[in-house]
């Protein structure tokens, strides 16, 4: 592997084609990257620099990391990818200080690495909105979780067995009944991530009409899973990685569609006739089932722990009482804290967010 300085000597910066604009010169930035290629984990090394904002001396770690990022982006993007690998190329993409400067490396990530840069941007925004940093390791972990769920991770879940073990007392589920259930991946609409509410409308189940039932499902996370019964959504778990070793459940919610009159306009006062019940949830402990599914997905993603967001941290519990989707403190506790305690989750003094945690067995 060549150093950043060696690569810049091989591919010199043409000042007639690009303008260097930063508070350190290109030469200074290259010097700051002197030991980058020697690090066993270059992304973790740069992430640690991003934490170092108030160091005494000429420049803090954060400034140095951003300068190194620009030194990387002033190399041909395919050279960065080939020499340093796809993870460092991702780090450079999500840490560029100037809009548009990562376009070249993003194209290489797409063409050569098969990356979905829209999902990568959602992962970056999620990390920034929730943890106020652009650390590459958790952004990559969250992106990989998204891709795993979208591309077959649920196929490895033995859902019939989980349904049987989570059936309520004295309930025997027939093979025909078991076959009516399915686990489905669910993602956000295109360009649908809301940075204020940290979620968005789902691509598969927004403005979706099935017979006389309409669904408009909001997801409180970048990716999720739906427990479906007879093809219709009955419950959702909104998921994201927290760091690199914990999968968090930011949403654990039963779903009820709206009974509608399909002959009327959606703007008609009589369009909605009532709620549609989630009949598939009645015979099972669906919260426990979703926790077990999440644990299996997390284990496959390398997580050692599973977490449930505390009710008080839910975005809708922080809204105004008059909002349509406001979640009262009592309801937030009932939906999140009560099942977390029931299912053996505990709080850790070291967690400043005061969420619930449990080891994946």
Q: CATH code at 350? A: 3.40.630
Query: Do both 263 and 340 map to the same domain?
Result: yes
Tally of domains within the chain: 2
97 versus 114: the higher-pLDDT residue is 114
Query: Do both 179 and 70 map to the same domain?
Result: no
Final residue belonging to a domain, choices 69, 99, 115: 115
| Span 250-270, average pLDDT | 93
Give the pLDDT of residue 304.
97
Give the pLDDT of residue 282.
96
Sheet strand arrangement including 356-359: 181-187, 223-229, 232-242, 246-254, 305-308, 356-359, 346-347
Residue 320 falls within a domain, yes or no?
A: yes
Residue 208 falls within a domain, yes or no?
A: yes
Which range among 14-18, 63-67, 270-274 shows the weakest confidence by mean pLDDT? 14-18
* Distances, alpha carbon 101 to alpha carbons 53, 93, 149, 255, in Å: 23, 8, 30, 42
Residue 120 falls within a domain, yes or no?
A: no
Query: Do both 301 and 239 map to the same domain?
Result: yes
Q: Closest by alpha carbon to 126, among 44, 240, 212?
A: 240
Q: What share of the chain is helix, strand, coil (3-state, %, to 5)?
A: 40, 20, 40
Residue 178 falls within a domain, yes or no?
A: yes
Beta bridge partners of 247: 241, 306
Give the pLDDT of residue 14.
80
The pair of structure tokens assigned to 129 is 């909105």
Q: Does residue 235 carry a pLDDT above 80? A: yes
Residue 143 falls within a domain, yes or no?
A: no
Give the pLDDT of residue 3.
97
pTM of the model: 0.92
Give the pLDDT of residue 54.
53
Query: Do both 264 and 334 map to the same domain?
Result: yes
Query: Do both 98 and 188 map to the same domain?
Result: no
Residue 222 falls within a domain, yes or no?
A: yes
Q: Does residue 193 carry a pLDDT above 90? A: no
Q: Could you say which DSSP state residue 167 is in?
A: B
pLDDT band, residue 97 (cuts 50/70/90): confident
Query: Do both 268 and 335 map to the same domain?
Result: yes
Query: Do both 299 and 152 map to the same domain?
Result: yes
Residue 69: which domain range?
Answer: 4-115
Q: Closest by alpha carbon to 139, among 154, 155, 128, 151?
A: 128
Residue 192 falls within a domain, yes or no?
A: yes
pLDDT in tens, 316-349: 898 766 676 788 999 999 999 999 999 999 999 9
Query: Do both 154 and 94 map to the same domain?
Result: no
Pair 236, 224: CB distance under 8 Å: yes
Final residue belonging to a domain, choices 115, 131, 161: 115
pLDDT in tens, 275-295: 998 999 999 999 999 999 999
Query: Do both 75 and 25 map to the same domain?
Result: yes
Query: Do both 194 and 307 map to the same domain?
Result: yes
Query: Do both 91 and 155 map to the same domain?
Result: no
Q: Does residue 84 carry a pLDDT above 90? A: yes
Residue 126 falls within a domain, yes or no?
A: no
Tokens 């992962």 sit on residue: 123
Q: Does residue 225 carry a pLDDT above 70? A: yes
Give the pLDDT of residue 24.
85
Q: Does residue 201 carry a pLDDT above 90? A: yes
Kind and range of the H or E run holding 176: helix 175-178
Query: Do both 35 and 105 map to the same domain?
Result: yes
């Amino acid at each position: 592997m060549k150093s950043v300085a060696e690569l810049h000597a091989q591919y010199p910066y043409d000042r007639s084609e690009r303008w260097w604009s930063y508070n350190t010169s290109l030469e200074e930035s290259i010097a700051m990257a002197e030991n980058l290629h020697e690090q066993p984990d270059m992304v973790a090394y740069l992430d640690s620099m991003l934490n170092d904002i108030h160091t005494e001396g000429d420049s803090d770690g954060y400034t140095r990391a951003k300068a190194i990022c620009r030194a990387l982006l002033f190399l041909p993007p395919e050279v960065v990818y080939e020499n340093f690998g796809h993870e460092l190329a991702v780090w450079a993409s999500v840490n560029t200080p100037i809009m548009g400067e990562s376009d070249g490396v993003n194209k290489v990530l797409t063409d050569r690495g098969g990356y979905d840069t829209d999902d990568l941007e959602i992962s970056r925004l999620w990390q920034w909105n929730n943890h106020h940093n652009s650390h590459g390791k958790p952004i990559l972990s969250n992106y990989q979780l998204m891709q795993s769920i979208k591309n077959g991770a649920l196929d490895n879940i033995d859902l019939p067995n989980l349904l049987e073990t989570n059936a309520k007392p004295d309930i025997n589920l027939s093979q025909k009944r078991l076959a009516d259930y399915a686990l489905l991946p669910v993602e956000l609409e295109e360009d649908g991530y809301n940075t204020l509410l940290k979620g968005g409308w789902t691509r598969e189940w927004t403005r979706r009409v099935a017979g006389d039932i309409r669904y408009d499902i909001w997801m409180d996370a970048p990716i999720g899973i739906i427990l479906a019964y007879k093809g219709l959504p009955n419950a959702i778990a909104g998921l994201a990685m927290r760091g690199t070793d914990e999968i968090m459940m930011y949403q654990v919610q039963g779903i009820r569609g709206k009974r509608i009159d399909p002959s009327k306009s959606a703007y008609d006062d009589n369009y909605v006739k009532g709620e549609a019940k989630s009949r598939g949830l009645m015979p099972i402990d669906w919260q426990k089932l979703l926790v077990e599914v999440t644990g299996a997905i997390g284990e496959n993603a390398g997580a050692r722990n599973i977490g449930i967001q505390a009710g008080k941290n839910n975005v809708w519990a922080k809204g105004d009482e008059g909002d349509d989707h406001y979640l009262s403190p009592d309801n937030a506790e009932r939906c999140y804290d009560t099942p977390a305690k029931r299912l053996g989750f505990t709080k850790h003094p070291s967690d400043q967010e005061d969420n619930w945690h449990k080891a994946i067995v």
